[in-house]
Chains A and B, each alone.
Chain A
Amino acid sequence: MSLKTLTKPWEAMAYGFLDGSAKREIRRKMIKAIAVPGCQMPYASREVPMARGWGTGGLQVSLTLVNPTMRVKVIDQGADDSVNAASIRRFIARVAGAPTTMDTLDADLIQSRHRIPEEILRDDQVLVLQVPNPEPLRPVQPNMSIARQMHADADYGRMWLQLYEQIVRSGRVMQGASYPSLVHGRHVMTPSPIPRWDVPKLNMAQHLTILSAGREKRIFAVPPYTRVEPLVFSDVPYKVEDHAGLTCHRSGTRGFFMNEIPQEDGSSAFEVSDSEWGVKAIRRRDGEEVALGETWYKNGRMPS
């Protein structure tokens, strides 16, 4: 053994910013996360040049997976052009030399904050969701050691009680985003704060979903063709947001998840939340040839 065998040639920066040991840690934990769908796996979350809570968990997964041929799309609440999305996309491109895109159909890796694109993802695409709070039991059990025991026992009675109390108090389930969902019939997970509209997209999907919480240091996954069932009572069906009848005031597209834009006269205008879908719809309306992918929702309904 010589000194040379113990060292590596000098590099200005590790490829993809993360050093080898950080990548290997994420790789090992991703294997376990995929093997036990929906189960939160603790991992050694590293520092990245971004504040915790701004997508560091998702970024670490993206930086581990990325290579110079992997086309990256980053979304923030559906939009490709918001500050958070643009910064993360530029950072990944800069440290990994990866090509970027805004088109869901072109992307190999999609890092997303709180939305799943409207176009159906293929079985060679990876969706990385940023997760602020990975523990669905936290509202009913703040002690995370006890929560871990409850997951081990599949003791989810209090989750049902919470939903029941919401129905009794308010007449409906009040949980808007991060709707607790049972994965593979065993682990309840939070699907990250995606709207209720997006949760059915995870059920038996073709793509691989990795959910990573950098601040909370947990990673979990939904492999393709895995059951993801929102917790519902049999007599109170699951309801998505009532957006099926809304029309986007810019692109004219209809039947997708919308952002509400308050107007000066007190009324509201609506704009499609998946910004690239809206852009493509406008370009097609203006006579360009644009490929629109198959969408999960058809005429505002999720085919069952």
Chain B
Amino acid sequence: MSVHPVPSDFEARCNAAFEAVMWAMARPGLVRDLPTTGMAQLVEALIDRECAVYCAEPGLAELAEKTGALAVAPDRADHVFVDDIPDRLLTQLNCGTDLHPDDGATLIAKADFSNGPQLRLTGPGIDGHVVVSVGGLAHDFWQHRRRALRYPMGFEILLVDGARVLGIPRSTIVEVL
């Protein structure tokens, strides 16, 4: 038997970051722990030359460019990394088509899980309903999201607060309490 292969730090980080993101998507409303803080680990785990990316933050944009991804405007991007969500961004995001819902974008944004309005989530991945507190977003953010989605067309939202991540897939119904 040969020696067991050992993942590099990079590989281990990508694997752990994706596992957190996968469970965040599978169980919306339950906050998962990422291996480190920030969004750079998500760029490492998800982005390569197959992607068209919009990064608001210059440091992140540089990292994304190094992976070979195309830098594009938010309306053409399949992955959008922003700290603060600009007005009208949700109406610009790519929602895919009825034929190819997988073309819908993934929005990765900063949020604050310690305080903020309470949200009641229902949908796949949620046992009944779950209440979660998410701050740092515009007050009409969830209203705009609801207007922009037409299931199965839509986009996914990953909210990052330090080393924690919360997933809101398009299948989740969000009510602001």
Interface residues of A (CB under 8 A from B): 9, 11-13, 15-16, 20-21, 23-25, 27-37, 39, 41-42, 44, 64-65, 67-68, 94-97, 123, 148-149, 152-153, 184, 186-187, 208, 221, 223-227
The CA of A67 and the CA of B124, in the complex, are separated in Å by 27
The CA of A23 and the CA of B2, in the complex, are separated in Å by 23
Nearest-neighbor residue (CB-CB) of B124 within chain A? A226
**Which residues of chain B are near A37, meaning CB under 8 Å?**
124, 171
Which of chain B's residues 148-166 have a Cβ closer than 8 Å to chain A? 151-152, 154, 156
Interface residues of B (CB under 8 A from A): 1-2, 4-8, 11-12, 14-16, 18-19, 21-23, 25-27, 45-51, 97-102, 104, 106, 124-127, 151-152, 154, 156, 169-171
**Which residues of chain B are near A30, meaning CB under 8 Å?**
22
Q: List 14 A-B contacts (CB under 8 A).
A: A15-B8, A16-B7, A20-B48, A27-B45, A31-B156, A33-B102, A35-B156, A39-B102, A44-B50, A94-B1, A95-B5, A152-B99, A153-B98, A224-B26
For chain A, what secondary structure do more than half of its interface residues adopt (helix, strand, loop), or is it mixed? mixed
**Which residues of chain A are near B170, meaning CB under 8 Å?**
35-36
Give B155 Cβ to nearest chain A Cβ, in Å. 9
Give B45 Cβ to nearest chain A Cβ, in Å. 6
The CA of A29 and the CA of B78, in the complex, are separated in Å by 12
Is the CB–CB distance between A96 and B5 below 8 Å?
A: yes
Give B74 Cβ to nearest chain A Cβ, in Å. 18
Nearest-neighbor residue (CB-CB) of A44 within chain B? B50
Is the CB–CB distance between B6 and A15 below 8 Å?
A: yes
